[in-house]
Structure 1
Amino acid sequence: MSKSLFCGCDVASDNNTIWLMLDDGSQPVKLFSVDNNQPGAEILVERVYSIAKEHCVSDILIGTEATSMYDWHLLEYLAESKLALEFNFKLYRFNAKWIKNFKKSLTPRGKTDPIDSFAIAERLRMGRLPKEYVPDIKYQPLRKLTRFRFHLMQQIAREKDFFLANLFLKASAYSQIKPFGSTFSATSLSIINDFFSVDELAAMPIEELTEFILEKGKAHFSKPDEIVDNLKRVARESYRLKPELAPTVNLILASTFNNIRCYKEQVKLVDSAITENLKAFKHTLESISGIGPVYAAGILAEIGDVHRFQDDSALAQFTGLTWPKHQSGKFQAEETRMSHTGNQYLRYYLVEAANSVKRCDATYKAFYEKKYKEATKHHHKRALVLTARKLVRLVWTLLTKQVLYQPGYCSFEDLSKIG
């Protein structure tokens, strides 16, 4: 019978805390730490190697928590070490939430116990493990780009929220009336930045304000008089900001706008790099109307090898687009919430892609509208994530079968027969 050695690594930016455990739960050595650098990784390999030889171990399982990027170098190094060559060697990268919940089931061992490295080792020993961590240099460059784009889009969203909060101070009725439809259109931002206060806006003659709007909007507005009326209404209905605060608020708005503009320029550069990197991959995701190279890359980079997933349900579980049932005895909750676990990047790109596809594809548009009507609250959000779940099925099929999407095939079963 094979013997196993389980290694739990609690990874931090400066050091890694190691707990080794045998099949019976005993410790072959006491808890120890190594630096989180290459010399530290070399020490870890040598210690694990010597202990494995001493105890005649055939299987070595090493687990870490997915904590930012702190475990990335360690896992990549271990995957190519002599441990992988001489033993049945497996690496696992646990979702931190799994370990946190697993620790609650363990008997408290002291003020700070059970420590994370012990919990990881014990979790490895218990079995029913997630998919093995396998280094994949093929998808990593593209994945870094798409995740960086996600980061930029989050920054833009934060800056816009901050901008709107300060805009309320300058012109409280602006976001309520929305004279230009979009607060962040070029002409709208010119009005916000060029006028010192709502009093200045109110005092400006209608003819001059109309001329200003036509100039900034390059005469594209069909009803400039209506926009002027709305702007005058904004000036009438807004709270008056104290003069002492006006320069500060204007500076904040101008600086925040510059941040947004800078981030958008960065997004354009990243989108170009993503499109170029995507050319190295054979896929059919762009055959779906509404999915361009950026969304296709985001989905493809996070999925990696689609054959890791037995079916679309496994992919949905990986994504976090699942709705666990809540029941006890004969009781079953009528309302179920989305799990919000899994790969947040893949979930983001699938939801964004679904939002685009529903505007371009009749089948998905009808599905979205049906779910929108069925929802009792949060209509758009619920309908959109359900549409994204439907899209998961299509994505899994296209990548598995390597076929083009044909809108006439509405069901998964029909699409699976293509090719």
Structure 2
Amino acid sequence: MIIKLSKLLLIGIDAHSKNNVACFLDQDGHTIIKSIEFENNLPGAQILEEKICALMESGHYDSLKIATEAASLYHVHLLDFLSSSEKISKYDVEIYQLNPKLTSGFKKAYADKNKTDHIDAFIIADRLRFGRLPNPYYYNQPYIPLRRLTRYRFHLIESITREKNYFLLHLFLKYSSFSTLKPFSNTFGATSLAVILEDFSLDDFANKSIEDLVDFVSHHGKSHFNDPDKIAKKVKQVAKESYRIRPALANSVNLILTTSWQNIKTMTKSLKEVDKAIAVELKAFPNTLESVKGIGPVYSAGIFAEIGNIKNFASHNALAKFAGLTWRQNESGNFKAEITKMTKTGNKYLR
């Protein structure tokens, strides 16, 4: 009986915005040809496709593994092209997008190697040889559009939070006691912003009568405050206790606060539009997550988009590892650490 051994071609691709580099190894880790550089566009991808097919035929390979790092979004078009290629699909092919942490940790074994695109492509190809790979990448995964939206929402939330902190930092320059005395429950409410953004100096507010301040608060609050007199006194106290900003700096701070608030409003409006788009995309999928108390459409969309097909996970432990919600053991001899750190090596969006 003759057993035919499978020949495997391994391709590692280091993807960038302008050019990509591909390295070609056999299953023993030997370089087949010199790594090639090609443009990260459709003609460049077609050149790589032809090179792969030529190598598969000339080397009599019958299986193929291709991988890139999930570095920003520069790898997405190339992976979609390769995974949908009819020319490549006739071979036994598996395509992967690797978490950069997988390859960065693996690269430590090559302490003598430099940091170049060609060497990075080699590391990615060599990592394929050692197995323990994530689930393969498939073209036209139905949840990818939803994932892009939920991740953009994540980006917006982070940006809004960062901008609000920037706003509050400069608020201290204008009214140093505002955050301490908290005249309003919501610093970003309409009346609070009227106090912050109006072209009044500290002395203007300090010299106003309580009656005038009550009128100011009632007008901007549309008479919704239960105790405008109390708020007016707090505003007056803020004005009296805050540092006086020098005039040369005041104009700059006022401009920064005004434009920063415009940024917050714009991003908040975008957030509402994204939430609507997420709700529309989510309707295309069966969704039972919202039956769990505390999980609404946005959170359920985020969870679903990151997990994808739950059948890809053999157990709840596999899913926890994918999210990075696991804790490393720390043992040596008779010692066993009681406190260990969460790995956080998985999907940060899901976590």
Q: Scaled by the length of structure 2, what TM-score is found?
A: 0.94
CA distance in structure 2 between the partners assigned to 1:92 and 1:137 by the alignment: 14
CA contact (8 A) 2:163 2:264 kept: yes
In the TM superposition, what are the counterparts of 1:111-130 in structure 2 within 5 Å? 112=116, 115-130=119-134
| Aligned residue in 1 for 2:234 | 230
Structure 1 pair 272–247 and aligned structure 2 pair: CA distance change class (3 A):
same
Matched, 1:258 2:262: yes
Deviation string, structure 1 residues 149-169 (Cα, Å, up to 9, x no partner): 122112111110110111010
| Aligned residue in 2 for 1:135 | 139
| Aligned residue in 2 for 1:160 | 164
CA distance in structure 2 between the partners assigned to 1:216 and 1:56 by the alignment: 78
User: What's the offset of the Cα at 1:85?
Assistant: 2.3
CA distance in structure 2 between the partners assigned to 1:140 and 1:113 by the alignment: 28
Structure 1 pair 194–110 and aligned structure 2 pair: CA distance change class (3 A):
closer
CA distance in structure 2 between the partners assigned to 1:284 and 1:327 by the alignment: 40
CA contact (8 A) 1:196 1:246 kept: no
CA distance in structure 2 between the partners assigned to 1:32 and 1:167 by the alignment: 54
Deviation string, structure 1 residues 304-337 (Cα, Å, up to 9, x no partner): 1111112222222212222223333333333323
CA distance in structure 2 between the partners assigned to 1:137 and 1:111 by the alignment: 33
CA distance in structure 1 between the partners assigned to 2:255 and 2:228 by the alignment: 28
Matched, 1:331 2:331: no
In the TM superposition, what are the counterparts of 1:163-242 in structure 2 within 5 Å? 163-242=167-246
CA distance in structure 2 between the partners assigned to 1:72 and 1:115 by the alignment: 21
Aligned amino acid, residue 288 of structure 2: T
CA distance in structure 2 between the partners assigned to 1:200 and 1:185 by the alignment: 21
CA distance in structure 1 between the partners assigned to 2:332 and 2:186 by the alignment: 48
Match of 1:93 among 93, 97, 109: 97
User: What's the offset of the Cα at 1:284?
Assistant: 0.9
Secondary structure of 1:5's partner? Answer: strand
Runs of 4+ deviating beyond 6 Å? none
Secondary structure of 1:272's partner? Answer: helix
CA contact (8 A) 2:53 2:88 kept: no
- By relative contact order (CA 8 Å, sep 6+), the higher-ranking structure is 2
CA distance in structure 1 between the partners assigned to 2:180 and 2:343 by the alignment: 34
Structure 1 pair 199–327 and aligned structure 2 pair: CA distance change class (3 A):
farther
User: What's the offset of the Cα at 1:121?
Assistant: 0.8
Aligned amino acid, residue 171 of structure 1: Y
User: What's the offset of the Cα at 1:84?
Assistant: 3.9
Percent sequence identity over aligned pairs: 48
User: What's the offset of the Cα at 1:135?
Assistant: 2.5
| Aligned residue in 1 for 2:36 | 32
Structure 1 pair 273–82 and aligned structure 2 pair: CA distance change class (3 A):
closer
| Aligned residue in 2 for 1:294 | 298
CA contact (8 A) 1:10 1:17 kept: yes
Match of 2:249 among 245, 250, 254: 245
Aligned amino acid, residue 234 of structure 1: V
Matched, 1:279 2:276: no
Structure 1 pair 138–151 and aligned structure 2 pair: CA distance change class (3 A):
same
Q: Which runs of 5+ in 1 are unaligned?
A: 348-419
User: What's the offset of the Cα at 1:119?
Assistant: 0.5
Structure 1 pair 198–312 and aligned structure 2 pair: CA distance change class (3 A):
farther
Aligned amino acid, residue 25 of structure 2: M
> Root-mean-square deviation (CA), in Å?
1.8
CA distance in structure 2 between the partners assigned to 1:189 and 1:41 by the alignment: 52
CA contact (8 A) 1:8 1:118 kept: yes
CA contact (8 A) 2:35 2:118 kept: no
Structure 1 pair 335–189 and aligned structure 2 pair: CA distance change class (3 A):
farther
Structure 1 pair 158–111 and aligned structure 2 pair: CA distance change class (3 A):
closer
CA distance in structure 1 between the partners assigned to 2:47 and 2:31 by the alignment: 18
CA distance in structure 1 between the partners assigned to 2:113 and 2:261 by the alignment: 53
CA contact (8 A) 2:49 2:88 kept: no
Q: Which runs of 5+ in 2 are unaligned?
A: none
User: What's the offset of the Cα at 1:114?
Assistant: 8.0
User: What's the offset of the Cα at 1:148?
Assistant: 1.7
Q: How many residues align?
A: 347
Q: Scaled by the length of structure 1, what TM-score is found?
A: 0.79
CA contact (8 A) 2:210 2:232 kept: yes
Matched, 1:103 2:107: yes
Structure 1 pair 67–111 and aligned structure 2 pair: CA distance change class (3 A):
closer
Structure showing the higher helix proportion among its residues: 1
Structure 1 pair 278–109 and aligned structure 2 pair: CA distance change class (3 A):
closer
CA distance in structure 1 between the partners assigned to 2:248 and 2:81 by the alignment: 58
User: What's the offset of the Cα at 1:116?
Assistant: 0.7
CA contact (8 A) 2:21 2:118 kept: no
CA distance in structure 1 between the partners assigned to 2:244 and 2:252 by the alignment: 15
Structure 1 pair 230–334 and aligned structure 2 pair: CA distance change class (3 A):
farther
